[in-house]
Amino acid sequence: MVSSGEASPSTASGSPKPATPFTGPITQEDVDRACDELLQAGENPTVERLRQRLGRGSNTTLGPGLRAWREGLGARLLAAQSRSAGAAPPAITQAAEGLWREALALASAQASAGLEEERGELEAQRSALLQERAELERRAQEISEMIPGYEREISAARSEAARALGHAQELATAAQRLEAELASERGALSRMSERLANERARFETERERLQERIDLECQRSFSMAEHHKSELRDLRRELAEELEQSRTLHAQAMAQEIERYRALALDREAKVADLASARAEVARLEALAASAQSELSAARGAAQARESELTMRIQATEGELRATILRVQESGEEQSRMLRELVQTSIRDRPQGAGLKGPAR
């Protein structure tokens, strides 16, 4: 409702200025002033024009104020006329009365038109409110019809939540059981890892020991081979020296013997000795030369036999070396096989039933 206040007549001439918007409550004086300004501007005051002029206000606030302004408009105009009638000449007074009657007729016509326009606006607002009410009642009916379905869904959701809670409890129990089984499995794996680490350390120790033995055997075999090769070189050198010395001695002996017999032969020939005897002596010397050649061939055969014997000894040494390396390799393979069997035995000795189980449904 509009606050009560003293009605103010229109005192300004010309075009009225729009009212300044404010934030306080709207009073009847504010409504009267805005209506006077609209009337001075040649416009019929309505609720919508009052709202535009004041900048705010609802229909329930501005409607009663507009009706009060219209009801007091005639009295305010008569009061204004009586105040100005005493000082004016009769002709002016009559003209003013005519103008006053015309103004009253115009104001009445404008007031009637404003009332009809306001009535139309109010009727349109009433129709809109009725439609909005019908729509709200329809929505309320739809919501009322949907409530049982929502209640059933809520009940089903609560049942599902209870089942989910029970399943979650089962899962929590299963998780605890799985944690215990996992801890047991981890303990078994830890013990197995420790056993494997110990076996691996023992295997590494044994492998290093076998590797040392292999290295020692290889060094010894290589040393023996080098020693035999050195002996063979020394024997070949000695044999060559002996052969060369034997050849030299035989050649020297043969040369000396031949020179001696040649000197004898020449001496005998010089003395014209028995020619047959000289020839026999020459034959004997040739036989001696052939014998020396045979001895030289025998010495060469003995040297070749000694060389063959040394070659066989070197081949036998190399065979022993290969056999030693083969035995060492077989020993390493045996150690690897023993380690694999130990790992398989450790896996077979794992606790039975240590596997993880799924949660009970």
- pLDDT one digit per residue (tens) for the chain, 361 residues: 444 443 344 433 344 444 444 456 888 898 889 988 888 888 888 888 888 988 888 888 888 888 888 888 777 777 766 666 555 556 555 655 666 677 667 766 766 776 787 778 888 888 888 998 999 989 888 888 888 888 888 889 888 889 988 888 899 898 899 889 888 888 888 888 888 888 888 888 888 888 888 888 878 877 887 887 887 788 778 878 887 887 788 778 878 877 887 787 677 667 656 667 767 877 887 888 788 788 878 877 887 887 788 788 878 877 887 888 888 778 778 877 887 787 777 677 665 554 444 444 4
Which tens digit of pLDDT belongs to each residue from 55-79?
A: 888 888 888 888 888 888 777 777 7
Q: Is 112 a member of any domain? A: no
Gap between the terminal Cα atoms of the chain: 71
Q: Is 78 a member of any domain? A: no
Q: Is 31 a member of any domain? A: no
Q: How far apart are CA 174 and CA 311, in angstroms?
A: 80
Q: Is 158 a member of any domain? A: no
Q: Is 179 a member of any domain? A: yes
Q: How far apart are CA 121 and CA 321, in angstroms?
A: 126
Q: Is 190 a member of any domain? A: yes
pLDDT of residue 8: 40
Give the structural domain span for 254.
171-348
Q: Is 32 a member of any domain? A: no
Closest by CA to 64, choosing from 26, 102, 19, 22, is 26
For the chain, the domain total comes to: 1
User: Where does residue 31 rank: exposed (0-12), middle (13-18), buried (19+ CB within 10 A)?
Assistant: buried
Copy the structure tokens of residue 275.
């020619």
Contact 18, 38 (CB under 8 A): no
pLDDT of residue 4: 43
CA separation, residue 28 to residues 2, 50, 66, 76 (Å): 6, 12, 9, 15
> Which pTM was predicted?
0.26
Q: Is 122 a member of any domain? A: no
